[in-house]
Amino acid sequence: MESLAFAVAGSAIAAGAAIAIVALGELLAEKTGVLNLGLEGTMLMGAVSAFIVVNEFVPNAFAGLTAAVLAGALMGAVFAMSVVVFKANQPLCGLAMNFVGAGLSGLIGAPYAAQPTAARFQPIRIPVLGHLPLIGDAFFNQTLLVYFAYLVLPAFIYWLLHRTRHGLSIQAAGEDPAAADAAGIHVDRLRFLYATVGGALAGVGGAYLTLALTPAWTEGVTAGRGWIALALVIFAGWRPFGAVAGALIFGAVTSVGFIGQLRDWPVPSAYLSMLPYLGTLGLMFVPFLLRSRVRRRLKTEPSALGVPYSREEAGG
């Protein structure tokens, strides 16, 4: 029983990492007031770019990762161009990017379907901790991106948002862009930057799938993870470590289903496969089940999320 629990923990951590990275990137973008529904398509572009570069050009996982960052940033920048510069409808443009990403990744990835990845991220065992009985393997023998997803990135984003002046500017752009503008903050510049950064991180999340988790390219390899990341940002109440916790819960639910299939539990496998989606759906309700005082403290949706800002219309 114990070994099962730790097996679940280990695979939960691995499965949740991709979503943690994507959710953290989107959290940054949303803090500036940009809602990107195109994460799924952006992840796919990252996943396919990483795979192609590794299998076709440089058989090195970091080369693949770089390609994914660039591809994701490009998708993010195109999105930012539409919604920040041209002020187009954010949900519509995000959805459009999903179509673009799904179509384009399927198109350029078609020749590579069902090939193994030529280079992948290998687990790194942390000295001492990695040799602990039971928990060593689950927690301290993971790939580099896993440590990045759960420790480095959330800590950095927390520090950026809550301990720096720049972070205050980010939050101001998402809370009250007109006031931020009046205070001399370049709202659109921040929004463009972090929508692009969010795209780049979604690319990293995609690369994690093809270079570490799966590791192979198949069409639609993301299987809704981009959307789940969006859900986690809401669940987390726009808090970095909340998003990480959500990703772990998602990972745990996924692994339970996976292990259930491996061990032939008497439940149709389709129902076990539904678990991650139903679990995420359940997570969406958690903030509303808390007592209202706690909820008010937790629910910190940026007031101007999804609302384009332009001086002329704000002036009124």
Partner 1 sequence: MAESHTGQRGAANGSRLRWRLERRAEVSWQASVLARAAAVFFALVLAGIVIRLSGMPVASLAGRALQQTLGTRYGIGQVAIVATPLVMTGLSVGLCMKMRLWNIGAEGQLLLGAWAATAIGIHAHGPAPVVLALMLLAGALAGAAWMAVPALASAWWNVSEVITTLLLNSVAVLLVNHYCIGPWRDQLVRGAAVSYRVPYELPELTGGGLHLGMLIPLLIAVLLAVSLRQTKWGYEISIIGRNRRTAEYAGMPLARHILLVMLLSGGIAGLAGAIELAAVTHRLSGWISSDYGYLGILVAGLANGSPLAMLPFGILFAVLLNAGIVLKTQGLPLNSVTAVTGVILLFAAIGEVATRYRITRKALAEDAGGSDTADPSGTSAQRVCGVLDET
Q: Which of 76, 86, 308, 79 is nearest to 181 (CA)?
A: 308
Which one, 266 or 316, has the nearer CB to partner 1?
316
Rounded to the nearest whole angstrom, what is the least distance from the CB of residue 73 to partner 1 in the complex? 17
Question: Two tokens at 244?
Answer: 């990480």
Which ranges of 35-89 does DSSP label H, i.e. alpha helix?
A: 39-52, 61-80
Rounded to the nearest whole angstrom, what is the least distance from the CB of residue 67 to partner 1 in the complex? 19
Which one, 158 or 301, has the nearer CB to partner 1?
301
Rounded to the nearest whole angstrom, what is the least distance from the CB of residue 284 to partner 1 in the complex? 5
Distances (CA, A) of 296 to 192, 243, 281: 29, 18, 21
Which one, 41 or 240, has the nearer CB to partner 1?
41
Dihedral, CA of residue 29, residue 33, residue 37 and residue 39, to nearest 10: 0
Which one, 142 or 280, has the nearer CB to partner 1?
280
Distances (CA, A) of 218 to 18, 64, 209: 16, 16, 10
Which one, 118 or 202, has the nearer CB to partner 1?
202
* Spatial separation of the C-alpha atoms in residues 88 and 269, rounded to whole Å: 42
Rounded to the nearest whole angstrom, what is the least distance from the CB of residue 269 to partner 1 in the complex? 8
Count of Cβ atoms closer than 10 Å to residue 205 Cβ: 33
Which one, 2 or 312, has the nearer CB to partner 1?
312
Helix (H) / strand (E) containing 89: none
Query: Which residues have CB under 8 Å from 152's CB, separation 6+?
Result: none
Site of interaction with partner 1 (CB under 8 A)? 37, 41, 78, 82, 86-89, 91-93, 95-104, 106-107, 110, 219, 223-224, 227-228, 230-231, 234, 268, 270-271, 273-274, 277-278, 280-281, 284-285, 288, 307, 311-313, 315-316
- Burial (Cβ within 10 Å: 0-12, 13-18, ≥19) of residue 315: exposed
Rounded to the nearest whole angstrom, what is the least distance from the CB of residue 158 to partner 1 in the complex? 23
Which one, 22 or 65, has the nearer CB to partner 1?
22
Phi, then psi, of 47 in degrees rounded to 5: -60, -45
Rounded to the nearest whole angstrom, what is the least distance from the CB of residue 242 to partner 1 in the complex? 16
Rounded to the nearest whole angstrom, what is the least distance from the CB of residue 104 to partner 1 in the complex? 5
